[in-house]
Amino acid sequence: MTTDTITIKGLDKPVTRIALGTWAIGGWMWGGPDDDNAIRTIHRALDSGINFIDTAPVYGFGHSEEVIGRALEGGRRKDVILATKLGLAWTDDQKVYRDSRPERVRKEVEDSLRRLKTDVIDLEQVHWPDGKTPVEETAHELEKLRQEGKIRAIGVSNFSVTDMDRFAAVTPISTIQPPYNLFERVTTERDILPYAKAHNAIVMAYGPLCRGLLAGKMNSGTRFPKDDLRSADPKFQPPVFEHYLHAVEALKAIAARHDKSMLALAIRWVLDQGPTVALWGARKPEQIEGIDAAFGWALSAQDKSDIEAILRTHVPDPIEPDFMAPPQRD
């Protein structure tokens, strides 16, 4: 497979510009885990040329990390850039809340190292800002862990520019992970991409397929079970869902100009926006198919103009993914 790569400051190996996203592998909010398929999915991604895996403890409350650790046994760890996160805790009944206190930061890194069966985490990211802990305290503890050799590079996710400025005064930010796709882009394009370009950081776009909407396979009859995240996403509720589906159908014509799928178009659009990596979420091996179709081409100026016209027509008031934000701790 022909792949694009990009360099993350602090790491000595370039990463593929598509990373395997593993939220669904953890099972939580995605209908439960399927470990055998998950391990096959990870192996398929690696065999396809992907060398970058992104996870988090909250994905299945440790389960995603444990599955990745099992999948990378037998010598495969050395070929992978492994990214995880911290800063989200949970209660016994799986209520998630933000917690980036220094003691929590250290505990999460130690727990992730154990679950991932590795001696070092290549990229450690703060999952969400903790409004009750000064960002400087979180950054300072991460810098200590970096100097101890337990992590190599540091990133943030879902942070404002103000918080990133405060964080970066303590330790360099190598990556920024916001939601970013054709339908969820306002904040990222206004704030995050300019910041990344100015500070030599890489944007790791999560949700580039907008939770499957931009894969082009849904229709007005598509329904989601109660334990599926999309059952609470306002974009997937009538009558708004129909507007998004009409936009997808129109976008397919742009993809057809290049003999590509809607999925490939959505990923290519993210990659064409700047210093970006797209997180490709998958939980079944067959969901890895099509990755190579996102590489080796680019959207033309006419394509981009037509895409903007389609979005203005069908989704003039796009909904940002604010519903996904976890609460602050009590």
CB atoms inside a 10 Å sphere around CB 304? 15
Q: If residue 269 lies in a helix (H) or strand (E), which one and from where to where?
A: helix 262-271
DSSP string, 37-72: HHHHHHHHHHHTT--EEE--TTTTTTHHHHHHHHHT
Q: b or e along 80-99 (b: 16 or more beta carbons within 10 Å of the residue's beta carbon)?
A: bbbbbbbbbbbeeeeebbbb
Find the radius of gyration of the CA atoms of the chain: 19
Question: Cβ neighbours of residue 289 under 8 Å, at least 6 residues apart?
Answer: none
Catalytic entry in 59, 195, 206, 244 = 59
Residues 6 or more apart in contact with residue 217 via CB below 8 angstroms: none
59 has catalytic annotation: yes
Task: Return d(Cα 162, Cα 171) in angstroms, integer.
Answer: 15
Catalytic annotation, residues: 59
